[in-house]
Amino acid sequence: MELNADFSRRAVVHAAQMDWVRSPMAGVDRRMLDRIGDEVARATSIVRYAPGSQFSRHTHGGGEEFLVLDGVFQDEHGEYPAGYYVRNPPTSAHTPGSTQGCTLFVKLWQFDPTDRTEIRLDTNTMQFTPDQRRPGIAVMPLFQDRWENVRLEHWEPYAEIEVALPAGLELLLLEGDFAESGETFGPQSWLRLPCGSTLNAVAGRSGCRVWIKTAHLAHAQAGPGKAP
C-alpha cells in the first residue's frame, strides 16, 4: 500500500473528518495519514484503542514514536496519559493496550537505524519557552539528533508563521486552528511540506498548539525491506 508516498509534494489529511479503519487487532482502529507497506509499514497514523483492547507483543524493527492525544495508553513499561510523548527505538519491544481507551498519533519505521534512545516525556509537566526569533511562538523541545528535530509549538492568536524549510516539515494540529494555503486546519489535521518549501500559516483567534517535526524529510523514505 502507498498513501501520500510522494515526499516531494505537499500532503494534507484532515483526519478528524475521516472514518476509522479496523486494524487486524480487535478494538484497534486507524486513520492513515501516510504509508509505504502493508501491515509492516513506514506509517503515520492516528490510532484508537477501544477500552480493554490490546495489541499482541511485537518488536519495533524500525522504531515507534507516539504522542498520546486522549485517554491512557499502557504497556509493561508504564501508563501514559494524554500528553505523553514516547519513543521506542529500533529493536525495542512491548505489549501495548488500554484499559480505559485512548487515541495516539503514531509514526512507525522512521528512525535513524542506529538510534537506541528511549524517551518518555510527560509534556503536561514541561514548559513552553518563547522563541526570541519568532514573535508569538513558544517552543517545547521533545527530541533532536542528526536525523530529526521534534517539538511542540504554541502559536498565539493571529500569529503569522513564515518558516523556510530546506529539509521539510511535518505537523499535526493538537488544539485550536490555523490557516495555510487557503485551507483551515482543525484538531487532528496533518500537514507535510517537502524539502525546499516554506510554511506560511496564520493562527486562528484562539491560537493553537501543534506537534512539529523537521529535518527528517532530507533522508530517503522507504518502507520496511525496501531500499531508499
The model's pLDDT over 134-160, given as tens digits with 9 standing for 90+, comes to: 999 999 999 999 889 999 999 999 999
For 146, 149, 173, 206, 211, the CA distances from 218, given in Å and listed in that order, are 11, 12, 22, 33, 19
Instruction: Specify the number of domains making up the chain.
Output: 2
Asked if residue 228 is part of any domain, the answer here is no
Q: What is the pLDDT of residues 164-222, one digit of tens each?
A: 999 999 999 999 999 999 999 999 999 999 999 999 999 999 999 999 999 999 886 76
Do 114 and 31 lie in one domain? The reply is: yes
Write phi, then psi, for 123 (nearest 5 degrees): -70, -15
Do 205 and 190 lie in one domain? The reply is: yes
**Cβ within 8 Å of residue 109, ≥6 positions away:** 37, 40, 41, 42, 43, 61, 62, 63, 223, 224
The mean pLDDT value for 14-28 works out to 93
Asked if residue 6 is part of any domain, the answer here is no
CA 97 to chain CA centroid, Å, is 19
Q: What's the grid cell of residue 100?
A: 480505559
0.85 surpassed by pTM: yes
Q: Last residue of a domain, which of 80, 101, 122?
A: 122
Q: Print the domain residue range for 114.
A: 17-122
Do 151 and 167 lie in one domain? The reply is: yes
The mean pLDDT value for 28-57 works out to 91
Share of the chain above pLDDT 70, in %: 97
State the CATH number of the domain containing residue 201: 2.60.120.10
Please, how many CA atoms are within 13 Å of residue 41, restricted to the half-sphere of its CB?
18
pLDDT of 223 higher than 80: no
Do 128 and 209 lie in one domain? The reply is: yes
